[in-house]
Chain A
Amino acid sequence: MEPVIHLRGAVGLLGRFPALAGVDLTVDRSEIVLLQGPNGAGKSTLLRLCAGLLPVAAGSAHVLGVDLVDDPTPVRVRVGLLAHATFLYDELTVADNVRFWTRAARADQADGQRAMERLGVAGRLADVPVARLSTGQRRRTALAVLVARRPELWLLDEPHAGLDQEGRDVLDALVVEAAAAGATVLIASHELDRAAGLAPRHVTIAGGVIVADSAVDRVP
């Protein structure tokens, strides 16, 4: 079966400058992979490259069968990116935001309502403008949008940041369920105690290259 992520010597382009130093990474369907590394190692950049948001300057990059060198746009609607930014309109309510982004992605509105309930932002919070939410509530709303879109590839950048214990438990459950349903999950995190238990495979990135991969290290 074709891997979901297949990068060979991939270098992204941040503006006019190269980012990453030639990443080799293969991730199969339904895998949950923890991407760890120090600040500035290239974790977020790698996630953005996989989402099709960064041009590939060198090497090859295929995500969900799409050649990102040729045209990254077809892959974008099939991935769910949870970044440091929440991708929400401050002036719109929680329900408005979830409705807008699920419609934009041609996803089912019922999935949006279910995701809001699962993340605890339905009911009273649904009619509150995002600008008035706490950091954790904004994070939950962003997650609700991601879940409602039913992406084939989840790209989570510090997903536990800002969430309370209950939110973290819900997030972990959602990740496990998504992988069981066939989605692939790539988690960039510094919270190793939390994320390491969630992801059977650990990949370490430093200086823009993969320096350790538990899947490769296991091979005799």
Chain B
Amino acid sequence: MFRDARLIAAKDLRIELRSKVTAGQVLPFALLLLVLFAFGLDPDGPTLAAATPGLFWVGVLFVTVLAVERTFSIEGGDGVRDALRLAGLEPGGIFLGKWFALAVQLAVVELVMLGGVVLLYDRELHGIGLLLASSLAATCGIAAAGTLYGVLAAGLRVRETLLPFLLLPVLAPVLIAATRAFESALDGVPSDGWPWFNLLAVFALVYIGIGILTFGSLLEES
């Protein structure tokens, strides 16, 4: 299973390096969101500072929809989904590979967004350990749920509109927990944020487990 996961992840990341969709489209979109949020909430006022953690993670969720859509559109071309079924790859391995590649791309976007928060919102970063740990756990969970719902919507003609409708409600717990963890870290009281990190880690583990177990059936149905 892990051999197949490495193969799929390497292929997805190679496609991203060649096409540069994340770097050229998703990343600028993420930064544009940060700028627009700042315009809407007055960059010099206290509201933006208070809302920064929530805005950051809402931005990540919007970016996730684009990234998930992209990761399954590359499997939708010229019968590739049938080829995956014929290739003899373990479905759990395909899930893990796509999950990992998606998580790597989201992590890169989040790092740049974090830099954007520092520069555009003039926020100092405290509680780096909690920030990184909760980002990692949240990214793993978001990528796992995104991969799962991405394949579910992949075979549908209305996938572009259905995917956010399915995915965003599922990611609501991640939004809440990651926002609380970020608030605690940025406010300089990281000890308050670790329970939220635990929730994020549990969410990620549950969705990775569900993905490994059910991806085969969903791929067959898509």
Contacts and interface: CB of A to CB of B under 8 A. Distances in A.
Contacts of B89: 104
B46 interface: no
Interface residues of B, number: 20
Contact of B15 (A81, A87, A91, A105): A91
Contacts of B41: none
Contacts, number: 64
Instruction: Name the prevailing secondary structure of the A interface residues.
Output: loop
Given A83-B79, A87-B78, A106 B86 contact: no
B88 A83 contact: no
A92 B78 CA distance: 13
A195 to B, nearest CB: 22
Contacts of A87: 78-80, 82-83, 86
Chain A interface category by residue count: 20 to 34
A86 interface: yes
A89 B82 contact: no
Given A76-B88, A77-B88, A104-B89, A92 B83 contact: no
Instruction: Name the prevailing secondary structure of the B interface residues.
Output: helix
Given A53-B82, A91-B19, A106 B88 contact: yes
A177 interface: no
Nearest to B94: A104
B85 interface: yes
Interface in A119-153: 129
A116 interface: no
B82 A83 contact: yes
A77 B74 contact: no
Interface string B54-92: 000000000000000000001001111011111111000
A105 B87 contact: yes
B74 A91 contact: yes
A204 B89 CA distance: 34
A85 B82 contact: yes
Interface of B: 4, 7, 11, 14-15, 18-19, 74, 77-80, 82-89
30 contacts: A51-B86, A52-B86, A53-B82, A53-B86, A77-B87, A77-B88, A79-B86, A81-B82, A83-B79, A83-B82, A85-B78, A85-B82, A87-B79, A89-B11, A89-B74, A89-B80, A90-B77, A91-B15, A91-B19, A91-B74, A92-B11, A96-B14, A100-B7, A100-B11, A101-B83, A101-B87, A104-B84, A104-B88, A106-B88, A129-B18
Interface of A: 51-53, 76-77, 79, 81, 83-92, 96, 100-101, 103-106, 129
